[in-house]
Amino acid sequence: MNKTIVMGLLILGLLVLASSASAQSLLDNPDYNKAVELQRQAEAAYAEGDYDKAKEYSEQAKIYIERSNTYVNDRLLIYRANSLLKRAQERVSYFKSVGVQPDYQGYLAQAEKDLAQAKRSYDAGRYEESIEFSKKVLAGIAVMKTVQMK
């Protein structure tokens, strides 16, 4: 049983370390804080020889760290979607302000449609879809930029 507990604590420690590198706002994450506290309790129980309690705390900490990882991944997805959406908005605004050659008006019109869809998707919480539409905007804008520079 000793080896199982030690292995569990080691795995838990690795999970905590891995998740701590995942996001800046991790310290604001209550599930992460609870997992860290449970890990401390598990280590203390283990040091006192209460192996059953140590295992119990370790198992609880694992649940909280999994919740924390889900939270962090969700925050990162939202951040990525927001960043790409903002970049797409800036590029469309720029080309609308400077204008494009008549041959490339279709690219700008499509970029505006894709931007509107990216915004609707973001507002509806469909962040992966928003990311894809924002990427389409940026790809279409890149074609206009290349063409105008020739």
Is residue 93 very low, low, confident or very high in pLDDT (cuts 50, 70, 90)?
very high
User: How do residues 97-143 score in pLDDT, each as one tens digit?
Assistant: 888 888 888 999 999 999 999 999 999 999 999 999 999 999 999 88
pLDDT the model gives residue 84: 97
pTM for this prediction: 0.69
Supply the DSSP symbol for 150: -
Contact call for residues 15 and 68 (beta carbons, < 8 A): no
Question: Mean pLDDT, to the nearest integer, of 55-80?
Answer: 93
Question: Mean pLDDT, to the nearest integer, of 68-89?
Answer: 94
Residue with tokens 């049983």: 1
Average pLDDT taken over every residue of the chain: 84
Query: What is the greatest pairwise CA distance in the chain?
Result: 78
Contact call for residues 90 and 41 (beta carbons, < 8 A): no
Contact call for residues 13 and 66 (beta carbons, < 8 A): no
